[in-house]
Amino acid sequence: MDEVRLWDYALSQEEILGRMNCEVASDESGLSLYFTFDGGVANENNASMASVVNEVTGNNNGGLMNFALSGTTSNRIDGSPILSGVTNPETPTPISFNYQLNDVAAPLSAIIGAGGTGLNWYTSLTGVSSTAAPTPDTSVIGGQTYWVTSINVNGCESELVPVYVAVTPNVEYGCWQMVDTGATHTLAIAENGSLWSWGTNTNGQLGLNDNTARGTPNLVNSDTDWISIATGSGISFALKSNGTLWSWGLNDVGQLGQGDNVERLVPTQVGSDTNWLSIHKTDNSGFAIKSDHSLWVTGSNSNGKLGLGDTNNRNSFTQVGTSTDWAQASGNTHGSLAIKTNGTLWTAGSATYSSSDSNSSFSQIGTDTNWQKIAFGNINAFALKNNGDLYSAGLSLPFGGLGRSHTTGSGFAKVLGGGYKDVMSGGLGATAAIKYDGSLWTWGMIARSGISSTGQPYEPIQVGTDLNWDSITGASGSFIIKKTDNSIWKRGNNSNGHLGSSSPDPSTPTKIACPCDTTTTWDSGAWTNGTPDTTKNAIFLSDYTGTGFSSCSVNVSNSANVVISTGEVLFVENAVTVESGASLEFQNDAYLFQGNDAVNSGEIIMNVESAPMVRQEYTGWGSPVAGQNLQAFSPQTLSNRFYTYDPAGTTAATAWNAVADPSTTSFANSTGYLIRVANNWSSTTPSPYQGVFTGVPNNGSYTILGSAGYNLLGNPYPSPIDAVQFIDANVARGIGALYYWTHEAAQDGSYTAQSNYASFSKAGGVAAAAGGTAPVRVIQTGQGFFADIASAGYIDFNNSLRRIQGDNSLFKSNTSPVPPNDKHRIWLNLTNSTSSFNQIMIAYMDNATNDFDLGIDAKVLTNSPSYLSSLTNNEELVIQGRAAFNINDEVELSITVDTADTYEISAAQFDGIFLSQQFYLWDKQLKVIHDIKNSSYTFQMSPGTYNSRFAIIYQNTTLGINTTEMDPTTVFVNTLNEIVVQNRNISLDKVEVFDIAGKLLYAKSAINDHTHKVTIDLSSAVYLVRTTTTENHSNITKIIKN
């Protein structure tokens, strides 16, 4: 026996059996004591003494003499059993899912953690698990969260991890099914199955029947049945839906498989077979698999990389052996890799990728059977397992392209990190990969990596914050990455024009526009050339009301009235034109989203709904169109109730500036305005204001001159923008946090209505009042907001910030498609019996320190005289980021109150590691550690600011402090108006009485009795009674003395 556990309640036999072979959970319900003997070393004969350690308190509780752990007889335990040593499995790797509205969803999935044999799924943190994976609901736009654990054969379960689902409007922002880029050119298949090419064309690799280079996508031919593509050095391959294989371009070593060495300038069928299954990316060879899973190769055979048992080139596709179990194969100039249908990994050619010598036949690498994907660069190779682990081999000098923290590599070794689903070496020492959460990562040559850094990143570094990257291709120091919305993005070396434009090398992902080559017209209730898409210009000649769609451009004319319905999105790659006499209207929660900086003309109508308000309440607004007059926007608002904000104002009263004449003043671009609701609004029944913006829709880049302090800004676009990317885009201004003025219009239970500022930073959102709605990552259309700016200068808005998000009501949505996958957070509320004051957050997250971090930490901005905050270097924070979690960490809290009263601190919610990690509120004045995770803490306080009374800690073992949960002491006032303290089980040692301000009024020590009476004359008031037993258990009780 190597451990003993004691619970404070009786466990059933099933519970005991279920827990006996599992590790102790850090917050296991009812676990009072947990002892290990000499660290739990099994089969150790402790002939002299086994130390006994209480793992809950950390205290050494003495020892057992002559205690044996090997199952032999001792004077303490006869035949003590040995625990099996089975441990809990590791947490699973979650996969994020992205659906469009009303898509057919599949059951969720995750990668089982090490030591696990299955998964348990949860639809809520406190719900019952199921081994059947839930299927998401795609009928509602927004974010959904589920939870999953790994389980093993003993029923042991890992910690819960969240699985995120995003449901977005049914609209495509891109036009591409597939893209593949080679050393000098790119091929892409559009959504309609057409084939496009661009880049260098020296050998006719573009398939356009000439040798002229193209800097933008060009249609190869009129066929629309292309399903797969692969590129190499000056060569192109493609498959059609009828199973035929086609090739064109350079053919000096027979790499086209046409039976000769003649270049082809147009796609040319390879033989007559119709059973080709897949074609794979290469350099100067060809690798293809047929439907029977036989492998066929052609072209250069340097080092024997074709696996045919020799080093002779081939000019026609030749079968590799007789095996029919090949799943994929690929190669570069030096060698090749292949994966079989049983998940094994094979290599031929150069010895760089295995520990064996060069081999002209395929030989297996290791014995693992979970390989999923292979990828090549010109000097290295990568192999990906189905558990998300990524391995690299080859050369790394001088840029660290292997992603292993060093610059040398021989044979396959694991890349740092995990959770990868796709990878591509871009050549020239640059590598990029996509994780299951949709994030993009890079390492190697910094000039190609798309990040801002110094030196070469030898370890994977995330590129931006987007979480909708889907697949990646690359070569010659460049990458083209596809998103889940079917848009494609370029970055890196563009010397050959293969990135789809003539622009210089883009260092960060830049969108490649869809080509516009056709037109469809809405006339008399139908489209003349099919439903619009991003390759078609959409023209309206008659009225239309209904769903959104994607198009290359939009033109509304002929007095047509076009209405985009609630919840819909109109995506336009280029310009929107509304002719005189026609109209284009967007209902509430409908958006206009544009793919580039095209100049629009003509007015649109944008309807935006506020949160519910009563008369004399305000909303922050910003205009998504040009030319909207302020007074016309809210005609019934008093003319002196339109405000801008001066960041230099010393107080809130002096900072607010009334607009001199709103009837002659229009919304300024990117500027926020605080506007009181119409003066005829109900003073008792809250309802939303229906704001109507009319003007030319804003698009492209905008700047506004900001001042140090709190700047009132406005989202300038007719679509939401990404708050995190807005903060990152303005790092030079030192934007610290964003704030939203909000009214809690209706009374919430016993709490009166509160008006305050909700806060947001890269750590997440915090509600304006406890129990309110926290802002999310998107800033809605028409939303005005405050930005805390460190230094004066221009604030930038651009189209790359624009996002799509359901529920356009100003600051009331609480769903976000962007998961907080890298954060571990606690939200705390401050309330009393009648008021809900405020909320704060503590977040352990990447890129945070324990000092003040711009963009992560948020200073307190409050309208409440009573509020809670956390402290960093004496700065009061409503959001505090912290460095990597440490169980010994302590977060100081500050509390300010203006009225003597009873207050309450509670945990509103928590996520990340705090789903399993315990946390406590430490009342240093009363020497109480309270389990704030599971119950609120009530205390009395006099007016003032208290910066050293409270802290959040993560262990209840602080010397001299006792928890409030340990003993059953009761305190009451008897009929003689005496304070009576009783404990029927343990003798009392000490009783102390405090007033609500914490002043000690009475103390009695060495009582040594089960009952004690406090008979001093105390006035009618609320008091705190602290009791301590002879076993040093402490308890705090609030009483009311009449």
868-916: pLDDT as tens digits = 999 999 899 999 999 988 888 999 999 999 999 899 999 999 987 787 7
Other Cβ atoms less than 10 A from the Cβ of 850: the count is 14
Provide the whole-model pTM.
0.71
Other Cβ atoms less than 10 A from the Cβ of 370: the count is 13
What pLDDT sits at residue 282? 82
More confident call, 310 vs 378? 310
E-state strands within 801-848: 823-832, 836-845
> 276-285, pLDDT tens digit by residue?
999 998 889 9
Residue 33 in this model has a pLDDT that exceeds 60: no
For residues 316 and 259, is the Cβ–Cβ distance under 8 A? Answer: yes
More confident call, 202 vs 755? 202
For residues 493 and 475, is the Cβ–Cβ distance under 8 A? Answer: no
Read off the pLDDT band of 428 (50, 70, 90).
low
Region 1013-1037 average pLDDT: 79
Other Cβ atoms less than 10 A from the Cβ of 432: the count is 28
Report the percent of the chain where pLDDT is more than 70.
79
Element (H, E) at 528: none
Q: Per-domain residue ranges for the chain?
A: 3-68, 93-168, 176-274, 518-602, 613-698, 843-963, 970-1041
Three-state DSSP state, 871: strand
What pLDDT sits at residue 167? 75
More confident call, 72 vs 1040? 1040
> 659-686, pLDDT tens digit by residue?
999 999 999 999 999 999 999 999 989 8
What pLDDT sits at residue 406? 53
Residue 219 in this model has a pLDDT that exceeds 50: yes
What pLDDT sits at residue 126? 63
For residues 480 and 186, is the Cβ–Cβ distance under 8 A? Answer: yes
More confident call, 327 vs 59? 327
Report the C-alpha dihedral over residues 264, 267, 269, 270, rounded to 10 degrees. Answer: 50
Read off the pLDDT band of 539 (50, 70, 90).
very high
Read off the pLDDT band of 927 (50, 70, 90).
confident
What pLDDT sits at residue 127? 67
More confident call, 798 vs 1033? 798
Assign domain 93-168 to a CATH class.
Answer: mainly beta
Compute the mean pLDDT over every residue in the chain, rounded to the nearest whole number. 82
More confident call, 478 vs 472? 472
Report the percent of the chain where pLDDT is more than 90.
45
**Lowest-pLDDT range of 90-99, 287-296, 850-859, 984-993:** 90-99
Two structure tokens written together for 1020:
């009618």
> 546-595, pLDDT tens digit by residue?
999 999 999 999 999 999 999 899 999 999 999 999 999 999 999 999 98
Residue 999 in this model has a pLDDT that exceeds 60: yes
Residue 716 in this model has a pLDDT that exceeds 50: yes
What pLDDT sits at residue 404? 53
What pLDDT sits at residue 74? 39
Give the closest residue to 710 by CA, choosing from 767, 797, 650, 770: 650
Residue 47 in this model has a pLDDT that exceeds 60: no
Bridge partners (DSSP) of residue 576 are 554
More confident call, 714 vs 403? 714
Distance CA(471)–CA(375), nearest Å, equals 12
Residue 819 in this model has a pLDDT that exceeds 60: no
For residues 260 and 298, is the Cβ–Cβ distance under 8 A? Answer: no
More confident call, 960 vs 582? 582
Residue 771 in this model has a pLDDT that exceeds 70: no
Give the closest residue to 441 by CA, choosing from 410, 428, 426: 426
For residues 969 and 1027, is the Cβ–Cβ distance under 8 A? Answer: yes
For residues 359 and 352, is the Cβ–Cβ distance under 8 A? Answer: no
| Residue found by looking up tokens 């590691």 in the block | 913
What pLDDT sits at residue 216? 85
What pLDDT sits at residue 353? 57
What DSSP designation does 668 have?
A: P
For residues 303 and 335, is the Cβ–Cβ distance under 8 A? Answer: yes
What pLDDT sits at residue 54? 45
Region 825-833 average pLDDT: 91
In what side-by-side order are the strands of the sheet with 526-527? Answer: 526-527, 518-523, 536-540, 553-556, 576-578
Distance CA(327)–CA(923), nearest Å, equals 62
For residues 813 and 143, is the Cβ–Cβ distance under 8 A? Answer: no
What pLDDT sits at residue 958? 46
Read off the pLDDT band of 405 (50, 70, 90).
low
What pLDDT sits at residue 996? 64
What pLDDT sits at residue 836? 75
Residue 606 in this model has a pLDDT that exceeds 80: yes
What DSSP designation does 853 have?
A: -
Write the single-letter amino acid at 254. G
> 49-106, pLDDT tens digit by residue?
444 444 444 444 444 433 333 444 433 333 333 334 446 788 887 776 777 777 888 8
What pLDDT sits at residue 49? 40
What pLDDT sits at residue 847? 86
What pLDDT sits at residue 28? 53
What pLDDT sits at residue 971? 82
What pLDDT sits at residue 969? 76
Residue 733 in this model has a pLDDT that exceeds 60: yes
User: Is 970-1041 the same fold as 93-168?
Assistant: yes
Three-state DSSP state, 633: helix
Give the closest residue to 422 by CA, choosing from 455, 366, 384: 384
β-bridge pairing 604-609 and 583-586: parallel
> 122-179, pLDDT tens digit by residue?
887 666 788 899 998 888 766 678 889 999 887 888 888 878 787 766 666 778 899 9
Residue 359 in this model has a pLDDT that exceeds 90: no
For residues 585 and 593, is the Cβ–Cβ distance under 8 A? Answer: no
In what side-by-side order are the strands of the sheet with 979-982? Answer: 970-973, 979-982, 1011-1014
More confident call, 542 vs 109? 542
Assign domain 970-1041 to a CATH class.
Answer: mainly beta
- CA dist 455 to 133, 398, 409, 870, Å? 44, 11, 19, 36
Read off the pLDDT band of 747 (50, 70, 90).
very low
More confident call, 357 vs 205? 205
